[in-house]
Structure 1
Amino acid sequence: MLIVHDEFDVDDDPARIDRDAVWAYLSTDAYWGRWRSRAVVEQQVSGAWRVVGMYERQTGRMVGFARALSDGLALAYLADLYVLEEARGRGLGKELVRAMIDLGPGAAFRWMLHTKDAHGLYKQFGFEPPDDTYLERRAKTA
């Protein structure tokens, strides 16, 4: 799938993902990802059900990324979505979310995610606080 957005392309081809760019962002800028090693990030990207990248059309540089975990049938988890600081403010985050959850094979799935600061973005796509049927076991700390 290739979606054109102004001067950017959104693509779900896993071979096109710039893993160095993903590592650079998650290891330095992502409050949720700095604890991971390069090997962990590589394994997460490789094992993802789906990955989506946002690319500058002129240069091919990846400026945004998202990955998802899924059973491939009914349930998916959105993770590691980001847009580089210099590319923000143009609706690219919305395009990444839309490409991942509305335009892909999981459009009818139940989607989950965690965020500390992007509630407004995800609310536009129907994300809301869980109902009373949802429980979560948080990660154990050492």
Structure 2
Amino acid sequence: MAEVTAEARIEAPTGKVWERLTDFGSYGEWNATHTNFPDGGPETLAAGSTFTENMKLMGFPAEVLWTIEELEDGRVLAIRGKGPMGVIVGTRYSLAEDGGATKVRIDGEFTGAAVSLMAGKLKDSATAALTESLRKLSGLVA
């Protein structure tokens, strides 16, 4: 398993950050690993909804079938997906108000046999991508 985390304080209200975070039509503007949603983003933002995303990590393209596992409107979006080579990917976005700004934390995990072969590089690449994503997200909402 490889686990990654990135955090940032974004100078924007939580509602504005959440709105951008869940606007799947503009995902590519801030999410550093996203390439496209071949069938569009999730039709309904609700636990149990599924959607497919094409991504790129460590220079490799991957298609992930995501399921929304947890949704707390304005605060938490957790998704888990199945990627290539039996890799399971989990991503959890959590937002907290911080005096007119928003603390955003992204937790990610990768599990599966293929992960053990490249865990170190995967952690470094995913951490860099999450940090870049938060930087871009901040620029869009601040």
Higher relative CO (Cα under 8 Å, sequence separation at least 6) belongs to 2
Structure 1 and Structure 2 fold alike (TM over 0.5): no
Structure with the higher fraction of residues in strand conformation: 2
TM-score normalised over the length of structure 2: 0.35
